Chain A
Amino acid sequence: MKSLGSIRRSFAPWADPASKPFISVKNVTKKFGDFTAVDDLSLDIYTREFFALLGASGCGKSTLLRMLAGFEQPTSGEIILDGQNLAGIPPYRRPVNMMFQSYALFPHMTVESNIAFGLKQDGMPKADIAERVGQMLKLVKLEKFAQRKPHQLSGGQRQRVALARSLAKRPKVLLLDEPLGALDKKLREETQFELMDLQQELGLTFVIVTHDQEEAMTMAGRIAVMSHGKVVQVATPAEIYEAPNSRFVADFIGDVNLFDGTVTAAEGGAVRIETAGGIPVRMASPEKLADGARAAVAIRPEKIRISRQPPAHAPVNAAEGEIWDIGYLGDMTVFHVRLKDGKVVKASSLNAVRAVEDPLGYDQQVWVSFGEDAGVVLKD
């Protein structure tokens, strides 16, 4: 098989104003009694996209997915799929299929009948059904298990049956609700890449719901970070990680150091900020911020350097502190450095060399520093 790199690199329909979205969620609100699960949410998803809805439990991501599938109706707003308004269309007439978190395999049917179920509903001729089921079994490598019942399969096998069943009808969109949640870590990682390759191979649109940020970052082309029924940011994994648009996103995705402060000057593509701890920071910022405005600087731990000597640009973008905690993870080490004002800064460094002659130890006086483009400035 050919590598998918070239397709992945050039695929960015959201950046092209001429491309039409495949799924359009327009001002959708969903209320359950007094509780607003989805709050005036708008979203565009493009054809062949691998799109992730990411958020903590209760953020409304599953409700949104269930509205796409037709199990819930929006309280207001509309969902357009491929030019068709989905309002009032029941789940069994929608050109989407869903893979359920619990897999929802039919316990009284064999693997084969499970996969054939959707095709039978369409009245497909028997011979064609048999052929398609064969293809699906081959795709998920379960040919030997065709006659088994779901309870005779392991968790990973059940997951693949569920996938095959939801793909059998060749839906325009596949919805995946926490599809890997029940698998153990190793199997989950393998399956993530399998799913990505499958999606590219079949040329389908995947919408996945997950609370696992690593999963979303690995698989998705774009991620919508959700909180309290709203979309906080929609962007590629790299943008979400490197340029979060809010404190929430910066904090939710990965680890981050947040320095609160006040803008003292704006100069060229950068701003000067005096942090609460007294560190003068100069940070690149495309946006001009007014003097005196409250702002926060968000810097990822791996972009913070630790040194024994003060860097050349000190005291700007640098602070002195003491190593407080060390977490050795094998591939990298995480240092917690306590600054003079008591603030703890997280810095991680890659263990690129096997043996370090003079490693940093507890209670050592060190300098933490960062470059002008290491972080982002977030408005309050």
Chain B
Amino acid sequence: MEKWSRFNIASVVLGFGFLYLPIVLLVIFSFNESKLVTVWAGFSTKWYTQLWHNQGLLDAAWVTIRVGLLSATCATVLGTLAALALVRYSRFRGRVLFSGMVYAPLVMPEVITGLSLLLLFVAIGLDRGFWTITLAHITFTMCFVAVVVQSRLLSFDQSIEEAALDLGATPVRTFFAITLPVIAPAVFSGWVLAFTLSLDDLVISSFTTGPGATTLPMKIYSQVRLGVTPEINAICTILIGIVALGVIVASIVTKRREVQRERDERAAVAASG
């Protein structure tokens, strides 16, 4: 193993400190006994139990999860279709324009996306609430799914689709029997990404929300304006836990599959040689 120089150690400590110190503080203070956020008064989990009695927070969490599940699923379907169109029909007219337009929301300031969606919903007379938030989330997470799925499709051996057609499968059957199973991991990670983005979106939700549809980030934000409470720390810690768990599970699954594949390939070569 290489020896670590002082400089390297210093940069690692600084970098990770910069990233994680605030989060670590938040997690620590979520277990604080005291009601004062910045004064440590002993370990306690009372704020977590108290969460279960805060109906407002629970409602917001439920709204967030419903919006996340629904919008991530719709965005995954639409984003996958967009990625397919972009990769497969590379010869159609206006492809460059189309791909630019699919990716525009990636770099578009959220305030502008939110505002324009709000204007649209007002113009067509859609009552703002759960459905408008969901629609807005579909809109802005779709392009992330498209990017993830597209990068998988670029390395996809198209001759396996041709082989399926050649063996008598219609294009629709080919898609469901061959293409989708092969790109499924990318589609799944696109879904996870969309869900995560939807989960912690504040700006676009604020623009497109209506009465009775308050998401968790909005709830937290509005409560923080009245002062940070240990309760907020607790719910944030839970959110961090969920996201971290998702990321860890996803990476373990991918890693294990890779390792298994490598082992199989080595075994095959050894057996044939």
Q: Give chain A's interface residues, CB within 8 Å of chain B.
A: 69-71, 90-93, 96-98, 100-102, 104-108, 117-118, 121-122, 149, 151-157, 165-166, 169
Contact = CB atoms under 8 A, between A and B. Distances in A.
Nearest to B265: A151
Interface of B: 157, 159-160, 162-171, 173, 177-178, 181-182, 261, 264-265, 267-269, 271-273
A137 to B, nearest CB: 17
A153 B268 contact: yes
Interface of B is mostly: helix
Contacts, number: 84
A169 B167 contact: yes
B167 A121 contact: yes
Contacts of A107: 160, 182
A106 B162 contact: no
A7 B173 CA distance: 41
A69 B167 CA distance: 10
Contacts of B163: 98, 100, 104-106, 165
Given A108-B181, A155-B272, A71 B169 contact: no
B162 A104 contact: yes
A69 B164 CA distance: 12
B259 to A, nearest CB: 13
Contacts of A152: 264-265, 267-268
A107 B261 CA distance: 11
A69 B272 CA distance: 32
A153 B270 CA distance: 10
B157 A149 contact: no
Q: Return the 9 tightest CB-CB contacts between A and B, nearest first.
A: A154-B272, A118-B167, A121-B168, A104-B163, A104-B159, A91-B165, A152-B264, A104-B160, A108-B181
A121 B157 CA distance: 21
Given A92-B165, A107-B182, A117-B169, A102 B268 contact: no
Contacts of B170: 92
A165 B159 CA distance: 14
A122 B168 contact: yes
30 contacts: A69-B162, A70-B165, A70-B166, A71-B165, A90-B165, A92-B165, A92-B166, A97-B167, A98-B163, A100-B163, A102-B157, A102-B159, A104-B163, A105-B163, A106-B164, A106-B178, A108-B182, A117-B167, A118-B167, A121-B169, A122-B168, A149-B264, A152-B265, A154-B268, A154-B269, A154-B271, A154-B273, A155-B272, A165-B167, A166-B166
A155 B272 CA distance: 8
Contacts of B159: 100-102, 104
A91 B166 contact: yes
